[in-house]
Structure 1
Amino acid sequence: MQLAKHVAQGKLTYLSQDKEAISVNENEHYRWLAFGCSNEHSEQVIQSVMLKRKPWKLTLPHQTAMMLPLLFFKPNSMIELGLGGGNIQRFIHHISNNINLQSIEHSNTVIDCFNQYFNPQNNQANLVYNDSKKWLQENTRDYDWYVCDVYQQEIQSYNNTVDQLEHLTANITPNTCLSINLPDATDYEVNLLLTLLKELSSDHEIIYFHIPNYLNIVIHLIPKQWHIYKRIKRNNHSYLPKNIFSRWKKFWRHGKKLPD
């Protein structure tokens, strides 16, 4: 059964009607986190989906696209901006214990939902309750990889995204990888954002992916000094198991490189 049909057949497990309505639904096979009121007058945005028998599995295609740098990169320290349902937390814990992953989340309700419904293996998750931009302003330590997947329903806007990207690029070094999910941007906005990123980070190659059948655009800023295609060919810079590595190597070919 397709994932969309599963989502249509779920039952409500949890509902918070706070400033930003958050719900947890599930059926026999999946459990998912959604933003937005669950009534006929308001559209829900499904943020993440967990396969209950394999909680570490990435279930949405943009999440796989965001993790593609693991083809040529063994990060020691990683910052995730936006916890959501914890798909990246569970996947990273499954792939390697060598990655120190810290998740910054602006909603205590989301953190509570993760702990109660989306951490079935009781992984030791390093979670920080804070606004992502505020956290970026307050932290100057170098990290290997920033992954940004922040959705704030009431303030999601182009100007807000630009502000966030400026803070992100101010924190990265020539040897830092940055991966960004843009959940709902027009082609015009995407082109402007790519141009902005190119201006802000001349030490990085920019490779981006349009996710088929979804509105997501995933952008990677990869240090130019890495020579990533040599790394992929040699397969000596990856924590990925061979079966995932082989499959993801084919996905990587669909990326578009922004010209220098």
Structure 2
Amino acid sequence: MSLHSPHQPVLPHLSALLLCFYYRQRPQKVTELGLGGGSLQRFFRYHFPLCEIRSIEYSARVIRLFEQWFWPAGSPCQIVQQDAQQAIKDVAAQDLLFIDLFAEQGSPDFVFSQAFYQDCCNALNPDGLMVINLLSASWLQSEQLLEILSELQLQFRILAVPGYQNKVIFAARQALPVLDFDSQLQQVARQYQLDLNAVVFMR
């Protein structure tokens, strides 16, 4: 986190995640599965103060560290301590759903489960967007996830982060235009100070 600008995305994969605004520009309801350092909480509170953003985090320790070190004192924040696999079943009508889940040994098994992504689909508005930060251990796992998204009849686009294992996937029921370095993408990057050099368009 930047102490000077806490809302500013710092890690490279965040620039890829936040290119979601190329597709969905004015979200009103957002859920994040996996709190991490709280980058999305700070970002949305700064840029979209009226947006309803909720983070679901399993680890009480992660929440405690976030509240102690990574959140401006006195600012409102909605965090639910719960297992994401169960919590997602009670989520509905989201404009954006961020899936950024990791256990000590990598992504939890249910991140490669069709039932989990069906629940994620059910949590979206008809035109809602799923934003997945995938840190897969193998090419086979990545292909497994893309097959699941295809079976659920979702459209998807994939970004890579140079020098990192992260793959960022945008998925939705609606058609998603190909991401390209056009004027709209450059405007999104300027508006939110995103680093386009940290992103490679895959498909």
**TM score, norm. by length of structure 1:** 0.66
Match of 1:23 in 2: none
Do residues 63 (structure 1) and 14 (structure 2) align?
yes
Q: 1:152 to 1:100 in 2, by over 3 A?
A: same
SS at structure 2 position matched to 1:62: helix
What are the ranges of 5 or more consecutive residues in structure 1 without an aligned counterpart?
1-49
Deviation of residue 165 (structure 1)?
Answer: 3.1
- By relative contact order (CA 8 Å, sep 6+), the higher-ranking structure is 2
Deviation of residue 171 (structure 1)?
Answer: 3.0
Do residues 256 (structure 1) and 202 (structure 2) align?
yes
Give 2:4's match in structure 1, choosing from 35, 49, 53: 53
Where in structure 2 are the equivalents of 1:84-163 lying within 5 Å?
84-120=36-72, 122-139=74-91, 141-153=92-104, 156-157=107-108, 159-163=109-113
Do residues 219 (structure 1) and 169 (structure 2) align?
yes
Cα deviation digits, residues 130-170 of structure 1 (max 9, x gap): 1111111233x21111001111225844x422234343234
Q: 1:156 to 1:242 in 2, by over 3 A?
A: closer
Mapped contact 1:81–1:149 kept (Cα < 8 A)? yes
Q: 1:216 to 1:225 in 2, by over 3 A?
A: closer
Q: 1:178 to 1:243 in 2, by over 3 A?
A: closer
Counterparts of 1:75 and 1:175, CA distance in 2: 11
Counterparts of 2:27 and 2:18, CA distance in 1: 12
What root-mean-square deviation, in Å, do the aligned CA atoms of Structure 1 and Structure 2 show?
2.8
Match of 1:174 in 2: 126
- Counterpart of 1:70, as a letter, is F
Runs of 4+ in 1 over 6 A off after TM superposition: none
Taking only the aligned residue pairs, the percentage that are identical comes to: 24
Q: Aligned pairs, how many?
A: 198
Counterparts of 2:9 and 2:55, CA distance in 1: 17
Mapped contact 1:180–1:218 kept (Cα < 8 A)? yes
Give 1:75's match in structure 2, choosing from 27, 49, 54: 27
State which structure, 1 or 2, has the greater radius of gyration over its C-alpha atoms: 1
Where in structure 2 are the equivalents of 1:192-203 lying within 5 Å?
192-200=144-152, 202=153
Match of 1:191 in 2: 143
What are the ranges of 5 or more consecutive residues in structure 2 without an aligned counterpart?
none
